[in-house]
């Protein structure tokens, strides 16, 4: 007779009891953030295969990483997010970060630029340069990237609604500075579908917005083949309230929508799939996050090969930047965010991210200070130089727990994608607001659980300090930065060839109305120093403005 599980049970018998389907009395079930029940103990039986059947890193379907040697060959790119004030101030911060060891740039733009407004537009008043760099014309890009070798430092543009215009400015700037555009590397976020769900810097309705994304993919495939014109952002959907499985599933559905739009133009999948990239979140439980990326990487490779017929294995890679989880940061006890950032960087390294951007400890309050950004850089550099995170590839590979959770995450992501298709597809769900409603409800429920203490948040609802001294340096708003930006815009308008500006804007209007690829006309307008606002107004005249469907209301 088997012994009863009670206080006298031996350690061996207790361990064996933990392997069963039913938990022993008194042991509460534990669930991942995605709702997967986690067993107390895992064995080889849980993964259903021997550890030596795992494919090697760099081999399809890339569960263990997209490169054979991963970080032994080259550490992940450190790409801290920055931008504020005007181009001159941002250029100074770029050089500061590069001097401190940053290996890529990630540009923040102010809200007027993101929404297609010029700095002198009355609607931009009070927001110019506040949460990112103000950009009005090609002149601002010329100043922002002065003295930066674009062959050595790749640049990510965090821009969406006005992305086609900003991509054109970046390519035109690089060309003017003598760089080979055909060999130019870099990334634009340019994921407008997630803007309708998560951030809100949309301009045009859904269908023409997708069309503009297709314009940039097609143009870059033909003229800047090493540039990545889209970074699909599960990150922001996760930040808006969804769970880790939905983060990956919705991002893959969105990426497929962009692929389908591009394939209609006559390009083959291998002509452009290799330049699609992703931006994912890394806050949460360590092993679930690692399994999310391993399972997602495997599923994405299968989608490209089995659904779309990609033949080049390099085009099946899940190329990604792992972002430092702003939603995980707290206003309370902000120094705790330094430790959170270190764990986020650890997750990214263990999961095989190609690029990492850590949110700084003060970002719950302000634009990061130079000191805060240096701490985030040093966090990643410590992992590389002192902690051995580059020593071996996929160090968690073969773990019973991680392999089982990887399989479960892949299956749940695939199941969620199938559900999206059953409901009409990602574009339909976004256009009618159902996806926004779902994500908003989840965010509301999550916040209620934090407030009740059901979800533990250190320094917020547990281990609080009632009289905590705030040690955060607030970023000052400088009137002189605004004055410099407005003066620069005025000078550009006075110096440029107005008839040429008018001609290029007319061409843009004509091409947009005809349903042609707008990028050649935008490139011409950018080189004539037409402004972001002028080009956006032309496209609004043709496409109209998006009207947001409001569905969710909290009880």
- Per the prediction, the chain carries an average pLDDT of 92
Question: Mind spelling out the 3-state secondary structure of 130-141?
Answer: CCCECCCCHHHH
pLDDT surpassing 60 at residue 14: no
Least trusted range by pLDDT, from 22-36, 43-57, 96-110, 302-316:
43-57
CA 331/CA 459 separation, integer angstroms: 9
Instruction: Quote the pLDDT of residue 410.
Output: 97
User: 13 falls in which pLDDT band (50, 70, 90)?
Assistant: very low
What is the pLDDT, as a whole number, of residue 10? 41
pLDDT tens sequence across 136-157: 999 999 999 999 999 999 999 9
Domains of the chain in sequence order: 62-452 (3.20.20.240)
> How far is it, in rounded angstroms, from Cα 43 to Cα 50?
11
Would you say the pTM of this structure is higher than 0.75? yes
Q: What three-state secondary structure class fits 230?
A: strand
Q: Please report which residue ranges of 276-395 form alpha helices under DSSP H.
A: 286-302, 336-351, 370-385
Judge whether residue 469 has pLDDT over 50.
yes
Q: For residue 45, is pLDDT > 80?
A: yes
Task: Look at residue 22 and tell me whether its pLDDT is greater than 90.
Answer: no
SS3 200: coil
Residue where the block lists tokens 């607001």:
433
Q: State how far the Cα of 409 lies from the Cα of 171, in Å rounded to an integer.
A: 38
pLDDT band at 552 (very low <50, low <70, confident <90, very high): low
| Dist. CA 248–CA 282, nearest whole Å | 12
Is there a contact between 191 and 232 (Cβ–Cβ < 8 Å)? yes
Cβ within 8 Å of residue 476, ≥6 positions away: none
Instruction: Locate all alpha helices (DSSP H) within 203-326, ordered by sequence.
Output: 206-223, 234-239, 244-263, 286-302
Residue 3 confidence (pLDDT) above 80: no
Lowest mean pLDDT among 94-98, 426-430, 476-480: 476-480
Q: Please give the C-alpha separations between residue 314 and each of 61, 239, 410, in angstroms, as whole numbers.
A: 11, 30, 20
Residue 19 has a pLDDT of: 55
- Calpha distance 301→309 (Å, rounded): 11
pLDDT band at 479 (very low <50, low <70, confident <90, very high): confident
% of the chain beyond a pLDDT of 90: 85
Mean pLDDT over residues 541-550, rounded? 92
Q: Per-residue confidence at 54, pLDDT binned at 50, 70, 90?
A: confident
Copy the structure tokens of residue 541: 């005249």
Q: Write the CB contacts of 214 (distance below 8 Å, at least 6 apart in sequence).
A: 258, 261, 262, 264, 265
Among 4-18, 20-34, 171-185, 494-508, which is the least confidently predicted range? Answer: 4-18
Check: CB of residue 288 under 8 Å from CB of residue 32.
Answer: yes
User: Is 240 within 8 Å of 198 (Cβ atoms)?
Assistant: yes
Helix (H) or strand (E) holding 188: strand 186-188
- The confidence score (pLDDT) of residue 327 equals 86
Query: Which contiguous run of DSSP H or E holds residue 355?
Result: strand 355-357
By DSSP bridging, strand 30-31 and strand 37-38 are antiparallel
Q: What is the mean pLDDT of residues 352-358?
A: 96
Q: Residue 113: what pLDDT? A: 98
User: How would you class 257 by CB atoms within 10 Å of its CB: exposed for 0-12, middle for 13-18, buried for 19 or more?
Assistant: buried
């Amino acid at each position: 007779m088997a012994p009863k599980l009670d206080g006298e049970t031996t350690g061996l018998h207790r361990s064996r009891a933990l392997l069963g389907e039913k938990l022993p009395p008194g042991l509460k079930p534990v669930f991942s953030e995605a709702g997967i029940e986690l067993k107390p103990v895992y064995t080889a039986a849980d993964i259903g295969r021997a550890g030596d059947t795992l494919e090697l890193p760099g081999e399809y379907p890339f569960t263990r990483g997209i490169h054979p040697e991963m970080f032994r060959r080259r550490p992940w790119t450190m790409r801290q997010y920055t931008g504020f004030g005007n181009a001159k101030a941002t250029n100074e911060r770029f050089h500061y970060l590069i001097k401190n060891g940053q290996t890529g740039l990630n540009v923040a733009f102010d809200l007027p630029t993101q929404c297609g407004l010029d700095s002198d537009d009355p609607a931009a008043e009070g927001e110019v340069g506040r949460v990112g760099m103000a950009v009005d014309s090609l002149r601002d890009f010329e100043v922002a990237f002065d003295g930066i070798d674009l062959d050595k430092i790749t640049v990510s543009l965090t821009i969406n609604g006005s992305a086609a215009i900003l991509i054109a400015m970046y390519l035109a700037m690089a060309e003017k500075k003598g760089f080979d555009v055909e060999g130019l590397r870099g990334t634009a976020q340019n994921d407008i579908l997630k803007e309708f769900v998560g951030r809100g810097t949309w301009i045009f309705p859904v269908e023409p917005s997708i069309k503009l994304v297709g314009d940039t993919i097609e143009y870059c495939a033909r003229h800047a083949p090493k540039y990545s014109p889209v970074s699909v952002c599960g990150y922001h959907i996760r930040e808006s309230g969804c769970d880790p499985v939905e983060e990956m599933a919705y991002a893959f559905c969105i990426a497929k929508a962009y692929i389908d739009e591009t394939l209609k133009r006559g390009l083959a999948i291998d002509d452009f799939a290799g330049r699609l990239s992703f931006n994912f979140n890394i806050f949460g439980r360590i092993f679930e996050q690692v399994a999310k990326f391993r399972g997602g990487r495997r599923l994405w490779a299968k989608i490209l090969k089995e659904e779309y017929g990609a033949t080049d294995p390099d085009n099946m890679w899940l190329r990604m930047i792992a972002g430092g989880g702003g939603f995980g940061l707290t206003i309370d006890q902000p120094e705790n965010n330094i430790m959170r950032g270190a764990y986020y960087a650890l997750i990214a390294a263990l999961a095989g991210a190609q690029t990492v951007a850590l949110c700084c400890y003060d970002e719950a309050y302000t634009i990061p200070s130079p000191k805060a950004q240096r701490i985030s850089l040093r966090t990643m550099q410590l992992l590389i130089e002192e902690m051995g995170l580059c020593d071996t590839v996929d160090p968690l590979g073969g773990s019973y727990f991680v392999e089982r959770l990887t399989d479960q995450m892949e299956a749940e992501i695939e199941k969620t994608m199938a559900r999206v298709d059953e409901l009409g597809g990602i574009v339909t769900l976004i256009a009618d607001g159902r996806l926004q409603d779902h994500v908003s409800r989840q965010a509301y429920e999550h916040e209620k659980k934090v407030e009740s203490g059901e979800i533990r948040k250190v320094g917020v609802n547990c281990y609080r300090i009632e009289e905590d001294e705030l040690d955060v340096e607030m970023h000052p708003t400088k009137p002189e930065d605004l004055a410099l930006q407005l003066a620069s815009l005025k000078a550009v308008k006075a110096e440029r060839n107005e008839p040429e500006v008018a001609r290029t804007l007319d061409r843009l209007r004509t091409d947009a109305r005809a349903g042609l690829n707008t990028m050649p006309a935008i490139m011409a307008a950018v080189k004539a120093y037409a402004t972001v606002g002028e080009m956006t107004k032309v496209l609004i005249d043709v496409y109209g403005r998006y009207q947001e469907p409001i569905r969710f209301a909290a009880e």
